[in-house]
Amino acid sequence: MNYVGYLNAALLLCVTCSAPAQVAGGANLSFKQLTAIAFQQNLDLQIKEKQAQGQMAGEDIAFTELLPSMSLTSGRFQTLQNTVSPAEEQTSYATSVVLSQPIYQPTIWANWRKSQLRNARADSSLSKQRQSLMFQLKQAWYNLLKEQVLHNEAVDSLARLKQHRKNAQEFYSAGKIWRNDVLQAHVRVSKGEQDIYAAQNRLALAKSTINILMNRDLMTPFNPQGQMQHIAFTSNFKSLLKQALVNRLELKQSEIDIELATKDLEIAEAQLWPTVSLSLSSGVSANGADYNPAALETTVSLNMSWNFWQWGQTNKAIDAAELDLSIEKLRAEQQKVLVMSQVQSAFLTVMEAQKSLNVSEQALKQAEENFRVSEIRYKEQLGSSNDVLDAQDLLTSTKITRVSALSRYLTALAELDLAIGAPVTF
C-alpha cells in the first residue's frame, strides 16, 4: 500500500470508528459528512469557483473576436459649400451594413490562446484551493478529536482525584494520615475542575474552527463521530518526491505562466507584420430621407495595415517580452526547488512525529503501571499521598502527550499529502 492508501485508510477509520462519550446536543457529524458540507459552502472555495467562471467568460469573449462582426451605419450628409458648382450643394442620406472578418491578425489569435491559458490556470487554482481546504479540514478534525480526548481525560482525571480525596478522608478519619494530606487532595480536585473548564473552552474553539470552514455559525453545535487511529507509514522519500514533481499544481501553473509569457512575446513580434481583414459592405443612398429613389451599392474590400516604422517601439516591446519569458522560466526552476524542499520538510516531520508517537505510547504504558502500583501502595499504607498525586500527574501528562503526538502524526500525514499534491478524494 502506498502513502495515499495509508492516508485514505486513516480517514476511513476516523469516520467509521465510534466516538467516545459526546457532549449532549447537536447533530452527529463524521469527517465525510462535514467535508461534503465544507466543499459546498466554504467561502474561499466559492470565491475560487467564481473566479474560474469569470476566466471562462473571458475565454468566450476572446474567441468571439475571431468571428465576423456586423455593424450598421446611417447618416445625413450636408454639403455646406461648393465653390466650383454652387448648384450641387445638397443634402444626401446613406445607410450601410458592414460585415468584417479578420483574416491575419496574430494579436487576436494570441489573445484567444492567452485566455485559454488563463482559464486553465484558474482551474488549477481552484483545484489547489480544494487541496488546501481538504488539508485544513483534516488539520481541524484531528485537533478536534484531540481536544475531545483531552476533555474526556480531564473528566477521568478529576474522577481519579475525587476518589483519592475520598480515600484520604477515610484514612484521616481513621487517624492514619495527617490532615495536610486531605487539604492537598481538596486543592488538587479544585485544580482538576479548572482543567475541565479549560478543556471545554479548547473543545468549543476546535468546533468553531470547523464551523468556519463549513461556513456555519460559530456556535452551531455538533458531535464529531470519529476516533484517531495510529496508521503505519512506510513510504520512502524518493517515491514521494516523484509524485510531487508530477502532481503539484504549482509546477503546472509555472508551465502555464511560461506559455503566457510566450504568447506575450508572440503579440509583441506580431507588431512587425501587417494585418489583413476582409470587409463586405452593402448600403443605400438617396437625396431624400424616404430613400426614394435609392441607389444600392455593394463593395468587397481586402484591407492590409502595416505599421512598419515606430521609432524602435516594437523592438523594445519584444526585448521586454523576452525578458519576462526568461523570468518565468527562472521562477519555474525556483518553484521546483521549493516543492522539493516542502516534500522533504513534510517527510521529515512525519518521521519525527512517528518516532515521538512510539515513545509516547511506551511512556503511557509505564505511567499506567506506575499509577496502579502507587494506588495499591497507598491503600496498603506503604506509600504517601504525594506518591499517588505524582503518579496521577504523570499519567495525565503522558496521556496528553500521547494523544497530542497522535494528532501531530496524523496532521503531518495530511501535510505530506498536500506537499506531494495528492488528488482530493472524499
pLDDT confidence of 12, banded at 50, 70, 90? very low
H helix or E strand, kind and range, residue 212: helix 179-213
**Predicted local distance difference test score (pLDDT) of residue 185:** 85
Q: Which three cell numbers stand for residue 354?
A: 512517528
Which amino acid does the sequence have at 43?
A: L
Using alpha carbons, select from 287, 243, 309 the residue that is nearest to residue 94.
287
Which amino acid does the sequence have at 381?
A: Q
Lowest mean pLDDT segment, chosen from 133-137, 148-152, 305-309: 305-309
pTM of the full structure: 0.79
pLDDT confidence of 343, banded at 50, 70, 90? very high
CA dist., res. 166 & res. 90, Å (int): 118
Question: Helix, strand or coil for residue 276?
Answer: strand
More confident residue, 20 or 333: 333
Mean pLDDT within 266-284: 84
pLDDT in tens, 396-408: 899 999 999 999 9
Report CA-CA distances (Å) from 357 to 14, 40, 47, 395, 407.
18, 35, 38, 16, 9
Q: 455559525: which residue's cell?
A: 217
- Distance between terminal CA atoms of the chain? 18
Rg for the chain, CA atoms, rounded: 37
Is residue 399 left, alpha or beta, with left meaning phi > 0 and alpha meaning psi from -120 to 50? alpha
Q: Where are the alpha helices (DSSP H) in 65-178?
A: 106-173
More confident residue, 48 or 277: 48
Q: 505599421: which residue's cell?
A: 307
Q: Is the pLDDT of residue 140 over 90?
A: yes
pLDDT in tens, 175-215: 877 888 888 889 989 989 999 999 999 999 999 999 999 99
Q: Is the pLDDT of residue 11 over 60?
A: no
Using alpha carbons, select from 123, 145, 176 the residue that is nearest to residue 20.
145
Q: Which residues contact 238 (CB under 8 A, 6 or more apart)?
A: none
Partnered with residue 283 across adjacent β-strands are 96, 297
**Predicted local distance difference test score (pLDDT) of residue 419:** 95
Task: Work out the angle between the directed axes of helices 31-41 and 106-173 (0-180°, nearest 10).
Answer: 140
List % helix, strand, coil for the chain (3-state, nearest 5). Answer: 70, 15, 20
Mean pLDDT within 167-180: 82
32: exposed, middle or buried (C-beta count within 10 Å: 0-12, 13-18, 19+)? middle
CA dist., res. 186 & res. 167, Å (int): 12
Report CA-CA distances (Å) from 277 to 66, 104, 114, 294.
11, 7, 22, 29
Q: Is the pLDDT of residue 23 over 70?
A: no
Pairing of strands 275-286, 27-30: unpaired
CA dist., res. 240 & res. 56, Å (int): 33
DSSP letter at 272 equals T
Please spell the DSSP secondary structure of 371-410, one letter per residue: HHHHHHHHHTTSS-HHHHHHHHHHHHHHHHHHHHHHHHHH
**Predicted local distance difference test score (pLDDT) of residue 82:** 58
69-78 sheet: strands from edge to edge:
69-78, 91-104, 275-286, 295-305
243-265 as b/e: b if 16+ CB within 10 A: bbeeebbbbbbbbbbbbbbbbbb
Mean pLDDT within 141-149: 94
Q: Is the pLDDT of residue 365 over 80?
A: yes
